[in-house]
Structure 1
Amino acid sequence: MRNNNYSSRCLIISFFAISILQACSSSPTNSRYNQTQDSAPTFKYDAINAEEPTPTYVEYNVWTSRPYEIRGQYYTPMQTGKGYQANGNASWYGQKFHGHKTANGEVFDMFELTAAHKTLPLPSFVRVTNKQNNKTIVVRVNDRGPFHDNRIIDLSYAAAKKLDFRDNGVAPVHIEVIHVDESGLVTIGNKTQTQDKKNASVMVASAPSLPKVAKTILPVKKPNADPSAYERASGLFVQVMAMADGDKAKDLAKGIGDLLQQPTHIPKIENLYRLRIGPLENEQSATKVIKDLKNIGFDKAFAIDLSPK
């Protein structure tokens, strides 16, 4: 019975997702964003628990590498980012774009360490160093932009917080692509891993641990999260359900996240995977999410406030 319920819900999610996509295709383009100006989230957010992505080998993807045009300017994406490094200004984007599709079809989550670049392959892994304070993080490039002459990369809100330039809006940075060959050889900027052992500040998947390469883009592998980190996460969430099967939880999270255009989290607490949506802006947003979930059969969803007391 449990498997039948799970399958039924997956079918319901698929049906509603198709309906929403059809509705979106007929909507005017100027209604895509609810905000006219970008902003930070409306609640206090600490990026300390934001996890850096682990670079892995990624197959070249023709679909995300097609030339494109923005405001009369034509861009041709690179076939490989190997050896790429640059200096310039970084900006950040957040609430306005949160929950909307990125250039490679993912959903933008301003609380993940991601970035946008005009021509790097999607996805790419980039080490970003804030030249004002020498803070460094690794981000995953999954979007296009920024379309300003004086900026080379657009970082997520969480990434800007980690690099400590959220309040300034723009910061001078040095960026280096972390490229992993199919054999597992790593190049950071214009140096291979063996040349850069002393200075490399990122952990990458070593050759023996890399999976057999598929003919598709491989998902980013993240280390297992500490459940206590999720318990300390700040913000308002809606918990959809809890289950023992992690794979089913991930499948449902992807379907629900795409359908509702909201970020999802699956902390494992007390041997159960807790499927949660959020962080959300406010109680009104949580109420709407709960209503949407009930419409597709998840009538036991409830709000959970993990904000500091």
Structure 2
Amino acid sequence: MTLNSRLVILISLFIICVLSLSACTTGRYQHAQDFIPNPILDPSALKDAVVKAEPLSSMGNPKRYTVLGKEYEVMSRAAGFKQQGYASWYGMKFHGHATSNGEIYDVYQMTAAHKTLPLPSYVRVTRKDNQESIIVRVNDRGPFHPGRIIDLSYAAAVKLGIHKSGTSAVELEVIAVPVKGPEKWLQVSALSNEQSAKVLQQKLQAVQRWPVMISSNTKRNVHKVRIGPVPAGQATDKLITILRDNQLPKPLILAAHQL
């Protein structure tokens, strides 16, 4: 075998190794298995989530969604909701990744995941065996394992004392749910041609997720194309950016009394 042939083989083997390693680290999560942080947390230093009034998250609250072939319906009303089942926890594999409502998961915060509660919600989690309880802020979806009703952050699991066993029978009680904040409507255009308004409506529905309605005044022959209601603030700002990026008209922002 010539020197050149050996070099070609060695280079080929090196490329294969690099590609193999890349394949192992691609995907949403860097780690294949979950693990605990280091150093281990001190339960006495952990504080319950501080309950406060918050608006409904602009992300993570669809009416319905499907995971692993099963459909879930997000609750529109959850005040006073109680549930019994098993709690589990999730750790460093998910640390630093986005939660369902767009926040970043932090194993050191008192948070949790639930399949159908509106995000964010505040929940008291009580162990059935010793009546120990904690308060967590639900900002994620899951767990999608049979029998489990809530996935706690690692910090919450440590405070509740279930981090070693992995799971525990618990009761959930919702103590605070999102409050309905101010809403806006974005009027994208007012057209004299109804068919043109319908075409614009379809374009808007294709590029964003909020409802698009046509408000028609037949006497004046005006058809107003509006998006909304949309939560005021970040969601509205993001929607304006989406419209601009898709070369759509700059909207007129309206409050409920201006419709």
| 1:156 and 2:153 correspond | yes
What is the aligned partner in structure 1 of residue 216 from structure 2? none
Taking a change above 3 Å as real, the CA distance of residues 181 and 43 of structure 1, as seen in their structure-2 partners, is closer
Please state how far the C-alpha of 1:181 moved relative to its aligned partner: 8.2
User: Do the aligned partners of 2:84 and 2:169 also contact (CA within 8 Å) in 1?
Assistant: yes
Whole-Å Cα distance in 2 between the matches of residues 28 and 74 of structure 1? 30
Q: 1:49 aligns with which of 45, 55, 73?
A: 45
Please state how far the C-alpha of 1:116 moved relative to its aligned partner: 0.2
What is the aligned partner in structure 2 of residue 134 from structure 1? 131
Structure 2 unpaired stretches of 5+: 1-22, 181-230, 235-259
User: Do the aligned partners of 2:120 and 2:177 also contact (CA within 8 Å) in 1?
Assistant: no
Query: Percent sequence identity over matched residues?
Result: 46
Count matched residues. 161
- State the TM-score, normalized to the length of structure 2: 0.57
State which structure, 1 or 2, has the greater radius of gyration over its C-alpha atoms.
2
Q: 1:145 aligns with which of 142, 145, 149?
A: 142
Please state how far the C-alpha of 1:47 moved relative to its aligned partner: 3.2
Whole-Å Cα distance in 2 between the matches of residues 57 and 107 of structure 1? 20
User: Do the aligned partners of 1:117 and 1:153 also contact (CA within 8 Å) in 2?
Assistant: yes
* Structure number having the greater strand percentage: 2
Please state how far the C-alpha of 1:180 moved relative to its aligned partner: 5.8
Deviations 1:51-78 (A, max 9, x none): 3222222333454211221111111211
| 1:93 and 2:74 correspond | no
Please state how far the C-alpha of 1:156 moved relative to its aligned partner: 0.6
Please state how far the C-alpha of 1:31 moved relative to its aligned partner: 2.1
Cα RMSD after superposing both structures: 2.5
What is the aligned partner in structure 1 of residue 56 from structure 2? 60
Whole-Å Cα distance in 2 between the matches of residues 82 and 127 of structure 1? 12
What is the aligned partner in structure 2 of residue 175 from structure 1? 172
**Runs of at least 4 residues of structure 1 off by over 4 A?**
27-30, 180-183, 214-217
Taking a change above 3 Å as real, the CA distance of residues 215 and 53 of structure 1, as seen in their structure-2 partners, is farther
SS at the partner of 2:157? helix
- State the TM-score, normalized to the length of structure 1: 0.48
Structure 1 unpaired stretches of 5+: 1-26, 184-213, 218-309
Q: 2:70 aligns with which of 56, 73, 81?
A: 73
